[in-house]
Amino acid sequence: MAESPAYTDYHPRWLRRRLSTYWWLEKPSYLAFVLREGSCLFVGWFVVYLLLLMRGVLQGDAAYQEFLAWSARPSVLVLNIISFLFLVYHAITFFDAAPRALSIHVGKTRVPEWIVGASHYAAWVVASALVCWLVLGS
Amino acid sequence: MIRRQPEPFLWMLFSAGGVVSAMLMPALVFLFGVAFPLRWLPPPDHEHMRGLLGNPLVALVLLGLCVLSLFHWAHRFRHTLYDGLQIKHLEEVIATICYGGAVIGSAAAAYLLWQAQ
């Protein structure tokens, strides 16, 4: 080793197997992973959508009606239908992971995983009902 | 000297945002993104919506939802870009865009909800 190799930040290039850009299409489990991670795009989009809705409401009835008309445009509607599917997928993956991330102990015994998981789903149902009740009015 | 690592804090925001968005967003996007535009349900009138935003408790929940969800997006998107597209060398640019975007969106949410009070 007479020559001193150039310093690189990461792994030496010659030990790396070239990974295809489309590696996530190779297995269903890889695709599920990418879809789960990709759900964050729809979380971000929906915050933008909420901000637009709030701005419309604040600006008055005309702006609110304009927002409602805009939300019914096919491109926006299709995006929101896809968002709904991704957000449900996001919720399921998050609640399914919760029992593994959250270990709750009562005294010295650990609360069984299914109880932690089930309570998340129960809270989801209650929260969704509360949202509908508040928005739709009694 | 204590070296402060931002990663655990950012992960906490990611995790909290994941839970809050999972709890509230499916119902909200179903109502405002699907059911009202398709006229499955009549959309609430302006007065009702204005009253909701003017309620401090509702505003606080909406602010928490917006802020935490934005940081959830920023954190997950940043890591997905690193891992998925193998562009680790753009680390600083991506982090700036992601968390910067989350900060700007949070400020917008705070401003709007403050105005509603």
**Considering chain B, what is the average pLDDT of its residues?**
93
The H helix count followed by the E strand count for chain A is 4, 2
Tens of pLDDT, residues B43-100: 999 999 999 999 999 999 999 999 999 999 999 999 988 877 777 778 889 999 999 9
Phi-psi region of A75 (alpha: psi -120 to 50; beta: other; left: phi over 0): alpha
Q: What percent of chain B has pLDDT over 70?
A: 97
Chain B nearest C-alpha distance from A118 (Å): 13
pLDDT at B104: 98
Residues of A in Cβ contact (< 8 Å) with B116: 54, 57-58
Across the range A102-121, mean pLDDT stands at 89
Give dist(CA A53, CA A76) in Å, integer.
Answer: 13
Number of Cβ pairs < 8 A linking chain A and chain B:
159
pLDDT at B59: 97
Chain B nearest C-alpha distance from A63 (Å): 10
Which residue would you say has higher pLDDT here, B15 or A7? Answer: B15
DSSP A110: E
- Cβ atoms A72, B35 nearer than 8 A: no
* Contact flag A37-B37 (C-beta cutoff 8 Å): no
Please give, one letter per residue, the 3-state secondary structure of A76-115.
HHHHHHHHHHHHHHHHHHHHHHHHHHCCCEECCEECCHHH
**Considering chain A, what is the average pLDDT of its residues?**
89
Phi-psi region of A123 (alpha: psi -120 to 50; beta: other; left: phi over 0): alpha
Distances (CA, A) of B63 to A31, A39, B53: 33, 21, 11
Residues of A in Cβ contact (< 8 Å) with B26: 84, 87-88, 91, 124, 128
Phi-psi region of B43 (alpha: psi -120 to 50; beta: other; left: phi over 0): beta
* Contact flag A134-B52 (C-beta cutoff 8 Å): yes
Q: 3-state class of A106 per DSSP?
A: strand
Which residue would you say has higher pLDDT here, B60 or A107? Answer: B60
Q: Which residue of A has its CA nearest to B77?
A: A40
Q: Does residue A12 carry a pLDDT above 60?
A: no
What chain A holds in terms of domains, given with CATH numbers, is: 23-83 (1.20.1300.10)
At B31, list the tokens.
């109502």
pLDDT at B89: 78
Give dist(CA B110, CA B64) in Å, integer.
Answer: 9
Query: At A15, is the pLDDT very low, low, confident or very high (cuts 50, 70, 90)?
Result: low
ipTM given for this complex: 0.93
Phi-psi region of B86 (alpha: psi -120 to 50; beta: other; left: phi over 0): left
**Under 8 Å CB-to-CB from A61, ≥6 apart: which residues?**
B46
Tens of pLDDT, residues A35-46: 999 999 999 999
pLDDT at B7: 87
B82 lies within 8 A of chain A by CB: no
Q: What percent of chain B has pLDDT over 90?
A: 81
pLDDT at A16: 64
> Using CB atoms, which residue from A37, A46, A57 is nearest to B25?
A46
CA geometry: angle at A43 spanning B93 and A103, to 5°? 95
Chain A nearest C-alpha distance from B29 (Å): 6
Given this structure, which CATH class describes domain B10-115?
mainly alpha
Which has the closest alpha carbon to B34: A7, A74, A113?
A74
Which residue would you say has higher pLDDT here, A86 or A8? Answer: A86
Give dist(CA A53, CA A45) in Å, integer.
Answer: 12
Across the range A93-115, mean pLDDT stands at 89
Helix (H) or strand (E) holding B56: helix B56-85
Sign of the four-CA dihedral B90, B92, B97, B102: positive
B104 lies within 8 A of chain A by CB: no
- Cβ atoms B65, B21 nearer than 8 A: yes
Residues of A in Cβ contact (< 8 Å) with B24: 127-128, 131
Q: Does residue B16 carry a pLDDT above 80?
A: yes
Give dist(CA B115, CA B111) in Å, integer.
Answer: 6
pTM of the prediction? 0.88
> Using CB atoms, which residue from A47, A84, A123 is nearest to B26?
A84
Query: At A7, is the pLDDT very low, low, confident or very high (cuts 50, 70, 90)?
Result: low
* Contact flag B33-A88 (C-beta cutoff 8 Å): no
Tens of pLDDT, residues A18-33: 777 787 888 999 899 9
* Contact flag A137-B112 (C-beta cutoff 8 Å): no
